[in-house]
Amino acid sequence: MTDEKEPRQKNIILLALATLVIAAGNIVTIYFARLEESQISWIGFYLVWFNLLVGWLTYRRKPVITYMFFAVGILLILIVLINKYWILGRVL
């Protein structure tokens, strides 16, 4: 019986660590991107938190969907960073 619960506990611990890393990356991103294009930064900030919440809510039924929501959260962080440092940094 302990063999069945042990992998699930490891997965939950890894999921919690991934949540902390994504949340920290989100907070750092909003800190650096807030000066220019603040609307896009805040929208990305809220969407990342929404994806983390929905990811945790779907974990019991379909863990694969949870990983998809976490991946979308990471993509949103990258989009905000690319917008700040590459698109806004270019002179057209």
Domain ranges of the chain: 2-87
Q: What is the pLDDT of residues 24-60, one digit of tens each?
A: 999 998 888 776 667 888 888 999 999 999 999 999 8
The whole-number pLDDT of residue 83 equals: 82
In this model, does residue 73 exceed pLDDT 90?
Answer: yes
Q: Give the pLDDT confidence score for residue 33 in this predicted structure.
A: 77
Model confidence, pTM: 0.81
Q: Which residues of 44-81 are buried (b: 16+ CB within 10 A; e: fewer)?
A: bbebbeebbebbbebbeeeeeebeebbebbbebbeebb
